[in-house]
Amino acid sequence: MTAAILEMRHEEYPQLKTLGLPKCAPRQRYRLVKVFITVLCELKDLVEPYVSMILVAIQPLLINEDYSVCVEARGIISTLSKVAGLPSMIAAMSAGIHDSDENVRKTTAKVFSCVAYALGVSELLPFLKTVCQCQESWQARHTGITIVYEFAIYFGSSVSHKDLRSLVEIIKHGLIDENDKVMIITALSITALAKATTAPSGIECFETVLKPLLTGITQHSGKVLAAFLKAIGRIIPLMGAFNANKYTNEVMSVLIREFKSTNEVMKKIVLKVVKQCVSTEGVEAAYIRDNVVPEFLDNFWDMGVTLDRRNYKLLVETTIDDIAKRIIENLTNNSESRRQLAMEAIEKVVSNFRVCDTDLVFLIEGILHAFNKQTVNSSDDVILNGFGTVVTSLGMRVKPHFHQIFDALNQGLQSQNNNKVRKQSADLISRIAAVMKQCEMDQVLCDLCILFFNNLEPEYPEVLDSFLEALNSIIDVIGVTNTTLPMNDLVASLSRLLDERSYKVQEVCINLLGRIAYDDNTCVSRKNWMKICFKILEKFLEPKKVIRTAAVKTFGMILKFTAVSSVTILPILIHNAAAMDRRVCVSSIVAIAIVAE
Residue 531 lies in a domain: yes
Q: In this predicted structure, what is the pLDDT of residue 199?
A: 60
Residue where a domain stops, chosen among 429, 444, 475: 475
First-to-last alpha carbon distance for the chain, in angstroms, is: 59
CATH code for the domain in which residue 574 is found: 1.25.10.10
Say if residue 541 is in the same domain as residue 430: no
Say if residue 381 is in the same domain as residue 448: yes
Residue 437 lies in a domain: yes
- Average pLDDT of span 519-531: 76
Say if residue 328 is in the same domain as residue 470: yes
Say if residue 351 is in the same domain as residue 447: yes
Say if residue 343 is in the same domain as residue 445: yes
- pLDDT band, residue 510 (cuts 50/70/90): confident
- pLDDT band, residue 20 (cuts 50/70/90): very low
Asked if pLDDT for residue 15 goes beyond 70, the answer is: no
Provide the 8-state DSSP code for 290: I
Q: In this predicted structure, what is the pLDDT of residue 58?
A: 75
CATH code for the domain in which residue 425 is found: 1.25.10
Give dist(CA 78, CA 55) in Å, integer: 11
8 Å CB contact between 330 and 338: yes
Say if residue 371 is in the same domain as residue 438: yes
Say if residue 566 is in the same domain as residue 542: yes
Say if residue 341 is in the same domain as residue 415: yes
Say if residue 457 is in the same domain as residue 502: no
Residue 191 lies in a domain: no
pLDDT tens profile 54-107? 777 777 777 777 777 778 778 878 777 787 787 887 887 777 788 788 888 888
Asked if pLDDT for residue 361 goes beyond 80, the answer is: no
Residue where a domain stops, chosen among 475, 501, 529: 475
Residue 254 lies in a domain: no
Mention every residue, 6+ apart, whose C-beta is less than 8 A from residue 69: 20, 21, 29, 61
pLDDT tens profile 439-474? 888 888 888 888 888 877 766 667 888 888 888 888
Residue 219 lies in a domain: no
pLDDT tens profile 407-433? 888 888 877 777 788 888 888 888 888
8 Å CB contact between 187 and 154: no
Residue where a domain stops, chosen among 435, 454, 475: 475
Give the number of residues written for the chain.
Answer: 597
Answer yes or no: pTM beyond 0.85.
no
Mention every residue, 6+ apart, whose C-beta is less than 8 A from residue 315: 271, 300, 301, 305, 341, 345
Residue 92 lies in a domain: no
Residue 325 lies in a domain: yes
Q: What is the residue range of 509's domain?
A: 486-597
Q: Which residue pairs from 527-533 have beta carbons closer than 8 angstroms and sit at least 24 positions apart in sequence?
A: 528/488, 528/491, 528/492, 528/495, 529/558, 529/562, 529/563, 529/564, 530/564, 530/568, 530/569, 531/495, 532/491, 532/495, 532/558, 533/558, 533/559, 533/564, 533/569
- CA angle in degrees (0–180, nearest 5) for 209-210-214: 120
- Average pLDDT of span 20-47: 65
Give dist(CA 265, CA 309) in Å, integer: 13
- Average pLDDT of span 363-369: 82
What is the number of domains present in the chain? 2
Say if residue 387 is in the same domain as residue 470: yes
Q: In this predicted structure, what is the pLDDT of residue 27?
A: 62
Say if residue 448 is in the same domain as residue 523: no
Give dist(CA 92, CA 190) in Å, integer: 28
- Average pLDDT of span 511-530: 79
Say if residue 384 is in the same domain as residue 510: no
Question: 264: number of CA atoms within 13 Å, CB side?
Answer: 8
